[in-house]
Amino acid sequence: MSDRVARHVIVHGRVQGVFFRDTTRRQAERRGVSGWVCNRWDGAVEAHFEGDPDAVDALVAFCREGPRGAHVDRVDVEDVEPEGADGFAIR
């Protein structure tokens, strides 16, 4: 089994009010990725993903497209230390 990895992601664009958080949660649960997602005051969506490297990379790739109705301008991704998250939450 691969080592657990974590990524901190900030998605910029028209990403609030388009079910970005809920779709991200469903994608994460489907892939077995733990962490959280939340709306930011500046209109971006922020998330923390951790789990299998391939699953986390797939979730980051999803964020680059977003759900139908989203328009993603930019995605900032940072490798971070896993927090030991259990499950996935919308904050």
Which residues belong to the active site? 21, 39
Label residue 11 exposed, middle or buried (CB < 10 Å: 0-12, 13-18, 19+). buried
Those residues with Cβ within 8 angstroms of residue 50's Cβ, 6 or more apart along the chain or in another chain: 4, 5, 6, 7, 33, 34, 35, 56, 82, 83, 85
Nearest CA among 49, 50, 40 for reference residue 12:
40
